[in-house]
Amino acid sequence: MTDRVARLTGRAVRDGPAGHPPRATLDDGTVVVVKDSSGDPGAATAEAAGLRWIAVPGGPPVPRVLGADDALLVTGLVPPGRATPAAAERFGRELATLHAAGADAFGAPPPGGPARAWIGHTRMENRPYDGPWADWFAADRVLPYLRAARDRGALDPAGAAAVDDVCGRIGALAGPDEPPARLHGDLWSGNVLWGPRDDVGGDGAAWLIDPAAHGGHRESDLAMLDLFGLPHLDVVLAAYDEHSPLGDGWRERVDLHQLFPLLVHAVLFGGGYGAQAAAAARRLR
């Protein structure tokens, strides 16, 4: 792996990769993070494209991509920081800026990103959809994982029927029309690292890692932050809403947007998440 890191970065490797996450030190002293996705073909290419796409001016800071191939991704290291109200407020504004950068269509992949991408260790299709968000979300984000979760026994027939019923009524549940937003796509708290800013220093910032980036609805990223918790989330949401006001009734749509990550987790990890997806669907009745 050392030779591959050297090839991708154009620098000799002094130490590593070692540790968790694996880190290597280049010959100029730069410490880099090395992510091996050889078990998920194409995942490194998709992640590299996603990181480049979500690195927008005024958006949340993102580790620099130093090199990538089909299986290996090398990025800069995010130094540790801490979650503060000031950093959370900034993150809310920066996340709104990222979303406002937009996408060509719902389901559109990042430039250079594959149509068959990944979220976690399961496949995710990124196919541009020329139609309303609700139809795309049901067809490409909810129903494929509903079928997979049901087939593996992570969702019982009654729960599957509840989710399927939501898909049948999704146009009435979706809220006001919005243009495609530029999403991180897997924005749980573990993919938000609290660290210093690389440009101005100061009291820290929320850095984004491990995207499953695509064009989608901005409320989906916010719903995932809410699903798994984030320090000072109330501050983040207030700053976001002040910068880019959210549509009427957005809080009542959180369960709708959480169906996708809950079903993905049901496919990957089992039935507890399937039960949560069914409960979210029933709350939407």
Query: Which residues are known catalytic residues?
Result: 186
C-beta separation of 192 from 208 below 8 A: yes
Distance of CA 247 to the CA centre of its chain: 21
Beta strands (DSSP E) in 180-270 are 181-183, 192-195, 205-208, 214-216
Report the alpha-carbon distance of residue 237 to residue 244 in Å, rounded.
Answer: 10
73 - beta bridge partners?
A: 35, 68
C-beta separation of 222 from 240 below 8 A: yes
Angle (nearest 5°) at CA 6 between 2 and 7: 115
- Which is nearest to 133 in space by CA: 158, 108, 99? 108
Report the alpha-carbon distance of residue 243 to residue 167 in Å, rounded.
Answer: 31
Whether a cis peptide bond, with omega within 30° of 0, leads into 57 is no
Q: How far is CA 118 from CA 44, 206, 223, 228, 282, in A?
A: 9, 23, 19, 19, 28
193 - beta bridge partners?
A: 207
C-beta separation of 22 from 16 below 8 A: yes
Rg of the Cα trace of the chain?
Answer: 19
